[in-house]
Structures are given as C-alpha cells and as structure tokens.
Structure 1
Amino acid sequence: MLRSYIRLILFALGLLVGVQVPGFMSDYSQRIEAHRLEAHQALEGYRKTAGEFFGGDMDRLVAHYRASDDPVFQSDADSLGMLMRREKMLDAQWQALQGRWYERAWHVFTKANPQILDETWQGYRYQVVLTPECMGWGLACAFLLSWIIEAIALALAVLIMPRRRPARRLV
C-alpha cells in the first residue's frame, strides 16, 4: 500500500514538473526576443551611418573606426563590434526557437544562452497551465520519472535482497 502511494506521489511530482517545461521555454523565448529587439534598436543609428557611407556594410564601419587615430573612435569600434556579436548571437538563438517543439526543447536544454537562461530562472513563476502542450509534457515527465525511480528501486532491491531459491527436497 505504501508503495502505491509513493508511486502516485512520484507520478504527481513528475506531472507538476512536466507542466512547467512549456511555460519556461516560452519565457526564455520571450526574453530572447526582447533582448534581440533591444540589440537591433541599439544598432539602428550605426546602420544608418553604415548605409550612408559604407553601402550598409557594418564591418567596414567598424574597420573605419578602428583605423582612426582618435582613441574615442577606436573604443567605439570595440563597443560596436560587441553589439554586433550580441545581435548575431540573439538572432541565432531566436531562429533556433522557431522550430518544432522538440527542437526548441533541445535548444533550451543544451544550447541556451547561460546569462539569459539564468535571467529566465530568476524571473520564472511556477504555474499550472492546462494547454495540450503542457499536459503532454506533464504526462511524459510523470511517466518518465515514475519509470526511472521504479527501475532504480527494483535494481536496488535485487542487489540488496536477492531472491533465494527454495531448497531442493531430496526424495
């Protein structure tokens, strides 16, 4: 009886954890998009300058700043290069989050930007959303957690308390 309750608790725990996955991925995706739009906006003035003087080539603008004798322009070249790299990284993150559900999940679990992932964790509020996607994740995690814990418990039971064969009777 106790074993049945433990199974139910594990299943419920897996269910509660699983329904959080789509919400967390959505929050991460929204943060990526917000940072991406902010980076794009920060480069807008530089894009106008590059468009006017360098045919829209931002790399040529950075090279021009670096080649300047003015230390202010050289410093701006470093700042501009950093902004361009950040925008490129955020664009790549955003593109990866536009795929199928399993591609998005794999990306968030394996290739998420650590700073934005941490920012998402800090701002995440646990919630139970009953969309089909959340229910699917919840059931999958519940079954997986239950199955893994049951398998570990069974393996430990076999190791700790092996079954004894009944003694043979000599007739």
Structure 2
Amino acid sequence: MFRSYLRLLLFTFGLLVGVQVPGLINDYSQRVEAHLLESREGLKGFEATARRFFNGDLQALVRHYRSSDDPVFNSDANSIDSLLIRNRQFEREWQILQGPWLERTWHVLVRADSQLREETLNGYSYQILLAPEALAWGLSCALLLALLVESLLLLIGWVVLGGRRKPVAESWR
C-alpha cells in the first residue's frame, strides 16, 4: 500500500512540474518581447538621426561619432553600439521563440540567455495552466518521472538481491 501511495505521489509531483513548462516558456517569451520593445524604443532617436544624415545606417552614425575628437561623441558612440548589440540579441531570441514548440522549449530550458532566464525564474509565479499543451507536458513528465524512478529502484533492488527473485508465497488455496 505504501508503494502505491509513493507511486501516486511521484506521479503527482511529475505532473505539477510538467505543467510549469508552458508557463515558464510563455513568461520567458513575454520578457524577451518586453526587452525587445524597450530596446527598439531606445534606438528610435538614433535611427531618426541615421535616416536623416546617413541613409538609415546606424553603423555609419556610430563611425561618425567615433571619428570625432569630442569625448562626448565618443561616449555616445559606445552607448549606441551597446544598444545595437543588445537589440540584435533580443531580435535573435525573439526569432527563435517564434519557431516550433520543441525548438522553443529546448531553447528556453537549455540555451536561453542566462540573464533573461534568471530574470524569468526570479519573477516566475507557479501556476497550473489548463491549456492542452500544459496538460500534455504534465502527463508526459509525470509518466516519465514515475517510469524512471520506479525502474531505477527496481534495478537497485535487482542488483542488491543479486538478480534473485523473492520466493512467491503459496496461495491460501
């Protein structure tokens, strides 16, 4: 009986962990989008200047600022350059998050920007989504966790017992 409750507890834990995956991916996507919109907003004034004087080429604007002897312009060139680098990073993240669900999931769980993932995890509030993908993730994680743990415990028991089976008690009949 205890073993059945332990299985049920393990399955429930796997289910609750699994339903968090779509919520985490959604929160990460929203954070990337917010940062992307903010970086675009930060570049708007410089883009207007680049359109006006350099046919929209921001790199030409940066080169022009760098070629100046004025330390203020040099400092602004560094600021614009860092804004551009950050914007490209968010654009790449956003493009990846528009791909298929498996690619998005793999990216967020394994290859995501560490700073953005940390921000997402710090601000994440656990939730139970009743969306189909959340249920699929939950059931998949629950079954996989239950299968792995029970298989591991059976393997350990088999190794400890030396591959012997316990004798089966005779029936009362």
Match of 2:135 in 1: 135
**What is the aligned residue count?**
166
Give the partner amino acid of 2:106.
W
Deviation of 1:53 after TM superposition, in Å, equals: 0.6
Q: In the alignment, is the contact (CA less than 8 A) between 2:19 and 2:128 conserved in 1? A: yes
C-alpha change, 1:138 and 1:165, in structure 2 (3 Å) is closer
Match of 2:23 in 1: 23
SS at match of 1:99: coil
CA distance in 1, matches of 2:55, 2:7: 65
1:1-171 matches, cutoff 5 A: 1-164=1-164
Give the partner amino acid of 1:87.
N
CA distance in 2, matches of 1:165, 1:141: 30
Misfit runs of 4+, over 6 Å: none
Which range is displaced more, 142-151 or 87-96? Answer: 142-151
SS at match of 2:127: coil
Deviation of 1:86 after TM superposition, in Å, equals: 0.4
Deviation of 1:165 after TM superposition, in Å, equals: 7.8
CA distance in 2, matches of 1:81, 1:143: 49
CA distance in 2, matches of 1:45, 1:57: 13
C-alpha change, 1:157 and 1:33, in structure 2 (3 Å) is same
Give the partner amino acid of 1:86.
R
Deviations 1:124-163 (A, max 9, x none): 1111111111100000100111111112111211221224
What TM-score comes out, normalization by structure 2 length?
A: 0.92
CA distance in 2, matches of 1:163, 1:7: 23
Aligned alpha-carbon RMSD (Å): 1.3
Unmatched 5+ residue regions in structure 2?
A: 167-173
What TM-score comes out, normalization by structure 1 length?
A: 0.93
Q: In the alignment, is the contact (CA less than 8 A) between 2:158 and 2:164 conserved in 1? A: no
Deviation of 1:63 after TM superposition, in Å, equals: 0.7
CA distance in 2, matches of 1:164, 1:135: 40
Deviation of 1:164 after TM superposition, in Å, equals: 3.6
Give the partner amino acid of 1:69.
D
